[in-house]
Amino acid sequence: MKDFVQTVNSTMKKEKNKIKPFTFKIDIVNKTLSNPDSHIVRKLSSMKGQYLDETSYDEMIKKEDTVLYEVYEKLVPEMEGELIQGLSIVHPGKVGKEYFMTKGHFHSVLETAELYFCLKGHGYMMMETPEGDWSAEELLPYTASYVPGRWAHRSINVGNEDLLMLFVYPAHAGHNYATIETKGFRKLIIEDNGNPKIIDNPKWK
């Protein structure tokens, strides 16, 4: 099976007038949320063409379609005014010298922002705008990273353990994956003598 998106609760598309206040617990030991509405599992096969070292990618995938990251979400009506929140777990590892990372995306409603709060691990939030600005913000436990509207974002795990983050974004934001799938990010993060190093992406279009 390729990636999968599992709808855990049948109330995924909750109606605005039916949503009630709720509280949820993040379990950083078992790496899950209480009563998630969805669980997304992304594997190596969904990242074809995204990693720089295609030979290493092909060799790895021949052996196993490794799980790179997982996302649990609490879903709310996908409308302005509401907030979607969840837990992202990027596993540690590398394809060649490049660390495991999320696909990355712009929000379909470009001007919508997002907040990430790092709970565990060591990573970077790689960001860029359509105008050509870029930024790589370091993520350590209890740091919060703000992704302004217009900024594409990708989480990269540069540590040896899972990178756990709580995220919150406007429920009407939507996801545009196609631009990053086609163009890539301007910058990549690779391991260089045991340390993360930001380099230009030679394949960036």
List interacting residues with Zn ion (CB under 5 A).
Answer: 114
Q: Which residue is nearest to ligand PAN (CB)?
A: 102
184 lines the binding site for ligand PAN (CB under 6 A): no
* Binding positions for ligand PAN, 121-160, rule CB under 6 A: 153, 155
Helix (H/G/I), strand (E/B), else coil: 164: strand
Q: Which is nearer to ligand PAN, 13 or 175 (CB)?
A: 175
Residue type, 144: A
Measured CA to CA, the distance from residue 77 to residue 7 in angstroms comes to 15
Taking the least distance from each CB to Zn ion, the nearer of 77 and 174 is 174
Measured in degrees and rounded to the nearest 5, phi and psi for residue 89 equal -130, 105
Strand residue runs (E) in 100-172: 106-107, 114-120, 123-128, 134-139, 144-147, 152-157, 163-170
Q: Pick one of Zn ion, ligand PAN, none as the site partner of residue 122 (Cβ within 5 to 8 A by kind).
A: none
Residue 37 vs 114, nearer CB to Zn ion: 114
Residue nearer to ligand PAN on the CB measure, 86 or 184: 86
Residue 88: name its binding partner from Zn ion, ligand PAN, none (Cβ under 5 to 8 Å by kind).
ligand PAN
- DSSP for 20-80, please give it: ------EETTTTEESS-SEEEEEEGGGGTTTSS-HHHHHHHHHH---EEEEEEEE---SST
DSSP 149: T
Supply the minimum distance, in Å, between the C-beta of residue 106 and ligand PAN: 10
Please list every residue from 69 through 128 that binds ligand PAN, using CB under 6 A.
71, 86, 88, 102-105, 114
Q: Tell me which residues in 29-68 interact with ligand PAN (CB under 6 A).
A: 42
> Distance (Å, rounded) from C-alpha 134 to C-alpha 82?
28
Strand partners, 85: 74, 168
85: partner contacted, choices ligand PAN, Zn ion, none (Cβ within 5-8 A by kind): none
Please choose which of ligand PAN, Zn ion, none residue 167 contacts, taking the beta carbon within 5 to 8 angstroms, the exact cut-off set by kind. ligand PAN
Q: Which is nearer to Zn ion, 99 or 145 (CB)?
A: 145
102: left (phi over 0), alpha (psi -120 to 50) or beta: beta
Binding site for ligand PAN (CB under 6 A): 42, 71, 86, 88, 102-105, 114, 153, 155, 167, 169, 173, 175
